[in-house]
Amino acid sequence: MNDSFPQGTAWIDGKFVKLSEAKISILDWGFLRSDATYDVVHVWKNNFFQLDKHIDRFFESTKKLRMPCQITRNELKIILAKCVKNSGFENAYVEMIQTRGVSPNFDRDPRKATPNVMAFAVPFGWILKPKDFEIGLDVYLTDIKRIPASSIDPTIKNYHWMDLVTGMFKAYEKGHHTALLVDEHNNITEGPGFNIFCVDETGIITPDTGVLEGITRQTVFNLAIELEINISKKPISAENLKKSKELFATSTAGGIMPITKISGDIIGLGNVGNITRQIHKLYWQKHSDSNWITPINNILK
Amino acid sequence: MNDSFPQGTAWIDGKFVKLSEAKISILDWGFLRSDATYDVVHVWKNNFFQLDKHIDRFFESTKKLRMPCQITRNELKIILAKCVKNSGFENAYVEMIQTRGVSPNFDRDPRKATPNVMAFAVPFGWILKPKDFEIGLDVYLTDIKRIPASSIDPTIKNYHWMDLVTGMFKAYEKGHHTALLVDEHNNITEGPGFNIFCVDETGIITPDTGVLEGITRQTVFNLAIELEINISKKPISAENLKKSKELFATSTAGGIMPITKISGDIIGLGNVGNITRQIHKLYWQKHSDSNWITPINNILK
């Protein structure tokens, strides 16, 4: 492993190890069939943010995949907290994963495999770095169709990302920051790791179907209600996207991120809009609100 | 690792290891984004079957994923042959894989990762065991839509299998052998690891779009032409599927496999049809035809 290998700690096969030593069998169906689910929670200033919501979704996803997680909520919290503590990170990105595991003698029957739970912590990462907040993201609107819900249930957080990765390549090749995919009706869906929100004269809008039910996406609903801003879920056409007054993306990897350009074309006034600022500000305020956070030291005491 | 762990040899990180020791980093995007491609070739009586065709497709897939394989054809052949030879298998299933690899510092840009090539051999496996040939497969026709080509290019052999695995669970729960998925128009697509063929009064038909361009699928075209049987690609509705005179599945994992029931309902006369038998017989005859096979010892001499 070279020096640029991400620092961090993992929990795998029941043990804590350096992240560079955390490996899975190449026969794990989580790799050979992407038969796995995961969730990512972040830690800011030694506090988990909305930890129980991420664990709720993770447990739900494992049930939907017919492999309900056998680790209890408290055990999982301790594992995640130790991954961060052992790494020495104040701010971190913590991923919990469950794969289908390895089946005896390469048996094709997924019921014969033993599920495999693991977790790891890496330094906190940003899709849009704070220093670039005022510049905002330039998102390339692709014609790639996000894998539809009729094929893969998007409420199960999954690693079926080849469409998103193809979008990222196209965006990078054309000089944009990241990509946005559409659905079969050419309505907007999501990008690699983020949901999207438009602001128009009626308030805030986000796509209703075919997207991950992001925890940060749900947070925006809670924050908008607190701020008394109208918010709704409905289809968004490419045309309406481009006519938005403001646009922002949401992700555990960076929170609330203004989008100022779509495929290089300026959105609204081309700067960070007022509603985006309000949501962003309140989002970060919640990071010191005891109703929203779980101190790592409380889990480990 | 317990006794039931599959026997075999892998090549990974440039070394040959016991399959039970072959592992990849949990940060490999091949795992965390299923950003990988693969191919599977089989070995029968110490001969690879259609090796160059599998390598052609593998190289094509790596190019389409913008990570052209850096290993030459001859190097790859030697790696695959040694995986089999070191395992001591006469009959084997040999998988070659290329993942996007790990990116420095968990960077989201896939261009920064270093692709990771690996391979492994396991004992030859069958979707339908030879002893059950006369019984045939009972395939459950699901209403699950196979991930469409507008999202994931099916000509890139990929691990996006959650739809197929869900189909397998549904089939097993209802007592069938395996599952068949449909497209957005409810036409037939493919099952987990196999293509499907119908026989009607016009000849042999297989779905034209939204399916893996299987090597065994292409082989059936070559065999049918040699047998002077009419064969074509076109959409197949569920209704036409059930009215077929014969049905068969094709896969590297077992070759030509009769399907005698769809969702428990008898197809045709409920036994193995004449055309299926002819294709099956010629398929296995080709396993001793020097135009179709590559002896392992020739590669390693």
Question: What is the structure's pLDDT at A99?
Answer: 98
Predicted local confidence at residue B15, as pLDDT: 97
Burial A255-264 (b: 16+ CB within 10 A, else e): bbbbbbbbbe
Mean pLDDT of the B200-226 span: 95
Judge if B99 and B177 occupy the same domain. no
Q: Which of B4, B7, B31 to mutate to test the interface with A (most CBs of A within 10 A)?
A: B31
Q: Which chain A residue's Cα is nearest to B162?
A: A35
Which of A123, A146, A165 is the last residue in one of the domains?
A123
Are B264 and B176 within 8 A, CB to CB? yes
Task: Please tell me the predicted confidence (pLDDT) of residue B95.
Answer: 98
**pLDDT band for position B125 (50/70/90)?**
confident
Q: How far apart are CA A240 and CA A267, in angstroms?
A: 11
The overall average pLDDT reported for chain B is 96
pLDDT in tens, B182-209: 999 999 999 999 999 999 999 999 999 9
Q: What is the pLDDT of residue A4?
A: 75
Check pLDDT > 90 for residue A6.
no
Is B292 within the bounds of a domain? no
* Contact indicator for A114, A90 with CB cutoff of 8 Å: no
CA distance A150 to chain B (A): 6
Examine the domain organization and report whether B21 and B118 are in the same domain: yes
Q: Are strands A116-123 and A23-25 parallel, antiparallel or unpaired?
A: unpaired
Out of A123, A140, A174, a domain closes at: A123
- Segment A69-102, tens digit of pLDDT: 999 999 999 999 999 999 999 999 999 999 999 9
Residue of B8, B9, B96 whose CA lies nearest to B51: B96
| The token pair that represents B165 in the structure block | 């695995």
Question: Can you spell out the DSSP letters for B153-196?
Answer: -TTS-----HHHHHHHHHHHHTT-SEEEEE-TTSBB--BTTBEE
Distance from CA of A23 to the nearest CA of B (A): 4
The answer to whether the CB of B39 falls within 8 A of the CB of B147 is: no
Query: At which of A123, A157, A173 does a domain end?
Result: A123
Closest-CA distance, A296 to chain B, in angstroms, reads 23
What is the helix (H) or strand (E) element at residue B293, kind and residue range?
A: strand B293-295
Q: How confident is the model at residue A1 (pLDDT cuts 50, 70, 90)?
A: very low
Structure tokens at A245: 């007054």
A92 and A136 belong to one structural domain: no
Q: Are residues B227 and B106 in the same domain?
A: no
Strand order, beta sheet including A92-99: A15-18, A9-12, A116-123, A92-99, A36-44, A47-49, A293-295
pLDDT at B1 (0 to 100): 43
Answer yes or no: do A114 and A139 share one domain.
no
CB A53 within 8 A of CB A215: yes
Cβ neighbours of B3 (radius 10 Å) = 7
pLDDT band per the 50, 70, 90 thresholds, residue B68: very high
Mean pLDDT, range A262-275, rounded to an integer: 96
Asked whether residue B163 falls in the same domain as residue B209, the answer is: yes
Which residues in A92-129 are b (16+ Cβ under 10 Å) and which e?
A: bbbbbbbbbbbbeebebebeebebbbbbbbbebbbbbe
Element (H, E) at B81: helix B73-87
Q: What is the pLDDT of residues B69-111, one digit of tens each?
A: 999 999 999 999 999 999 999 999 999 999 999 998 888 899 9
**Confidence check: pLDDT of A125 > 90:** no
Residue B2 lies in a domain: no
Short-list B26, B52, B230, CA closest to A5 = B26
- pLDDT for A105: 87
* Interfacial A residues in 50-79 facing B (CB < 8 Å): 65-66
Number of domains within chain A: 2
Does some domain include residue A1? no
State what percent of residues in chain A have pLDDT above 70.
99
Domain that residue A119 falls in? 9-123
Q: Is residue B297 in a domain?
A: no
User: What residues contact A60, with CB distance under 8 A and at least 6 apart?
Assistant: A155
**For a pLDDT cut of 90, what percent of chain A falls above it?**
93
B152 and B94 within one domain? no
- Give the residue-averaged pLDDT of A92-116: 94
Q: Is B18 exposed, middle or buried (0-12, 13-18, 19+ CB in 10 A)?
A: middle
What CATH number does the domain containing A170 carry? 3.20.10.10
Nearest-by-Cβ selection for B120 from A26, A38, A123: A26
Question: Do B138 and B244 share a domain, yes or no?
Answer: yes
Distance CA A93, CA A135 (A): 24
State how far the Cα of A133 lies from the Cα of A283, in Å rounded to an integer: 14
pLDDT digits (tens, 9 = 90+) for A194-217: 999 999 999 999 999 989 999 999
Picking from B12, B106, B184, the nearest residue to A125 by CB comes out as B106
Answer yes or no: do B169 and B50 share one domain.
Answer: no
Cα A278 versus chain centre, distance = 21
**CB-CB neighbors (< 8 A) of B171 in chain A:** none
Domain membership flag for residue B299: no
The answer to whether residues B278 and B139 belong to one domain is yes
**CATH number for the domain that contains residue A114:** 3.30.470.10
Residues A21, A68, single domain; the answer is yes
According to DSSP, the β-strands at B47-49 and B92-102 are unpaired
**Is residue B295 in some structural domain?**
no
Assess B162–A contact: CB distance below 8 Å, yes or no: yes
Whether residue B1 lies inside any domain: the answer is no
Residues of B in contact with A144 (CB under 8 A): 150-151
Smallest Cβ distance to A158: which of B97, B108, B162?
Answer: B162
Task: For residue A214, give both structure tokens.
Answer: 């992001």
Tokens found for residue B93: 């299933």
H/E element, B261 = strand B255-262
Nearest residue in A to B11, CA atom: A26
Query: Could you tell me how far CA B151 lies from the centroid of its own chain?
Result: 20
pLDDT, tens digit (0-9, with 9 covering 90-100), for B144-193? 999 999 999 999 999 999 999 999 999 999 999 999 999 999 999 999 99
Q: Is residue B153 part of a domain?
A: yes
Whether B95 contacts A26, CB under 8 Å: no
How high is the pLDDT of residue A3?
57
**Residue in the block written with tokens 């030291």:** A297
Same domain, B230 and B136: yes
Check if the beta carbon of residue B245 is closer than 8 Å to that of residue B273.
Answer: yes
The amino acid sitting at A124 is F
How many whole angstroms separate alpha carbon B87 and alpha carbon B156?
Answer: 28
Cα–Cα–Cα angle for A58, A60, A63, rounded to 5 degrees: 110
